[in-house]
Amino acid sequence: MAAKLIKTTLENGLKVMLKEIHTSPLVSAWIWYRVGSRDEVTGGTGLSHWTEHMQFKGTPQFPATVLDRAISREGGVWNAMTFLDWTTYYATMPSDKIDLILRLEADRMVNSLFNEKEVASERTVIISEREGNENEPIFRLGEAIQQTAFRVHPYHHEVIGDMADLLTISRDKLYDHYRTFYVPNNAVLAVAGDFDAKSMLARIRELFEPVPAGPVPPRLSRPEPPQSGEVRLTVEGPGETTYVQVSYRFPTATHPDFFPLTVLDSLLAGASSLNMFGGGISNKTSRLYRALVDKELAVSVSGGAMATVDPFLYTFTLTVHPERTPEQALAALDAEIERIQSERILKQEIARAIKQARAIFAYGSENITNQAFWLGYAEMFARYDWFLTYLDKLAEVTPRDVQRVAREYLRPQNRIVGTYLPNGKGA
């Protein structure tokens, strides 16, 4: 299966990534904008996510209901996501129907209406989304940790935004956000699947080149100063279950240490999957599962990093065993961290982590949507090559590298420890 790949930039600055994959009669198209919650200032938190919602409310050419109906009729799926660094819109369609999506994306890059009434009705929908999140203890704890970890850098708030801003953001503010960031020179269009790349590129030129480039949007850049000591916090709320999250400051995905850290994550907490679709594997023989869950200090443990543009966090999440205290669970976590920092790591452990990554890659390749996702996603924090060489980079990691990064990053001075304390029986 030689997959044909085209990378090019249109005259208006839109980057285009195309990959021919002829395994199913499907095409998946993704448009990525370099705008996310880190581009929002106080008073405007949640703007990027709300803007994403408004992009489904129609343009003069494609009124909301017409579009949704057209896509669904063809059996397509479409959706969107907003993250710290980016916002993306995708659709996966039968291959002969993808033109509709391309026309839509070119159109809503400039012509979305942001009708006042729709803004008002979406306000309550998003508030409801936030209230649903608040029902989850892990959301409350994660939000507290994030705002503690980032005082200066705009990673300090949740993507959904603060309630105070959701109540007050105006239509004009949303529209202004949209017009500032939704320009072709701030976007990547990635399409994968069953098409002829040359004619696909010609069609994309025809549809997207008329969209004029805009001023390069500003990107907030306020580096977080180094942390000078461990921070601990607690959040109290309903329930009977105690959770502990331990977040360490982590480098960006393009930092050379990202790969040894990925292996470290695999050894400690089990192989993580960065796939958006395709899933991962269990972690029951990871060091932390053995030390915490087998030893009945926690009932579950997981770890995970995210690929970000600026340094973010790596977080361990522990569900504390009902008969244990959060301090006991944390002590066991610390003992395992100390062990990996001081005792010899075997080569076989690393070989195992690489085989796991290879399998997870194969699972992710089963669907076109996930393959198209990577084509654009990697461009948001690195280049597509980052994805193509991912397994090779992991293979170069040595036991010494893993130990070095364990010592360097997993220091108490580099972390925030958050505990969710349940305030008794909910009812």
Q: Is 175 exposed, middle or buried (0-12, 13-18, 19+ CB in 10 A)?
A: middle
Within 32-71, the residues that bind other proteins by CB under 8 A are: 56, 64-65, 68-69, 71
Q: Is 130 exposed, middle or buried (0-12, 13-18, 19+ CB in 10 A)?
A: middle
What is the β-pairing status of strands 15-20 and 4-9? antiparallel
User: How does 204-241 read in b/e, with b if 16+ C-beta sit within 10 Å?
Assistant: beebbeebeebeebeeeeeebeebeeebeeebeeebee
Residue type present at position 378: A
> What are the contacts of 384-388 at 24+ separation with CB within 8 A?
384/5, 384/7, 384/17, 386/253, 386/254
Total site size for other proteins, rule CB under 8 A: 83
- The two tokens of residue 30 are 């993704």
Within 260-279, the residues that bind other proteins by CB under 8 A are: 270-271
CB of 413 to other proteins, least distance (A): 32
CB of 8 to other proteins, least distance (A): 19
C-alpha pair distances (Å), 313 with each of 250, 310, 320, 333: 5, 10, 21, 17
Report the C-alpha gap between 24 and 193 in whole angstroms: 8
Q: Yes or no: say if 78 and 91 are a contact pair by the CB < 8 Å rule.
A: yes
Contact between 234 and other proteins per CB under 8 A: no
Report the C-alpha gap between 313 and 417 in whole angstroms: 12
Among residues 3, 41, 125, 152, the one that binds other proteins under rule CB under 8 A: 125
Residue 108 — φ and ψ, nearest 5°? Answer: -80, 0
Among residues 74, 224, 257, 408, the one that binds other proteins under rule CB under 8 A: 74
CB of 139 to other proteins, least distance (A): 10
Among residues 60, 223, 229, 427, the one that binds other proteins under rule CB under 8 A: 427
Contact between 362 and other proteins per CB under 8 A: yes
Q: Yes or no: say if 42 and 154 are a contact pair by the CB < 8 Å rule.
A: no
Among residues 355, 383, 398, 413, the one that binds other proteins under rule CB under 8 A: 355
Contact between 235 and other proteins per CB under 8 A: no
Contact between 73 and other proteins per CB under 8 A: yes
Among residues 8, 72, 111, 234, the one that binds other proteins under rule CB under 8 A: 72
Among residues 3, 8, 11, 25, the one that binds other proteins under rule CB under 8 A: 25
Within 185-204, the residues that bind other proteins by CB under 8 A are: 194-196, 199
Contact between 357 and other proteins per CB under 8 A: yes
CB of 416 to other proteins, least distance (A): 24
Contact between 122 and other proteins per CB under 8 A: yes
Contact between 229 and other proteins per CB under 8 A: no
Closer residue to other proteins, CB minimum distance, 129 or 224: 129
Among residues 8, 61, 124, 170, the one that binds other proteins under rule CB under 8 A: 124
What is the β-pairing status of strands 298-305 and 312-320? antiparallel
Among residues 176, 205, 363, 421, the one that binds other proteins under rule CB under 8 A: 363
CB of 309 to other proteins, least distance (A): 28
Within 132-191, the residues that bind other proteins by CB under 8 A are: 132, 134-135, 137
Closer residue to other proteins, CB minimum distance, 83 or 181: 83
Within 92-121, the residues that bind other proteins by CB under 8 A are: 92, 94-97, 120-121
What is residue 325's three-state secondary structure?
coil
Contact between 408 and other proteins per CB under 8 A: no
Draw the binding track, 285-324, toward other proteins (x: CB under 8 A; -: no contact).
xx---x--xx-x--xx------------------x-xxx-
Q: What is the DSSP letter of 58?
A: B
| Bridge partners for 237 per DSSP | 422
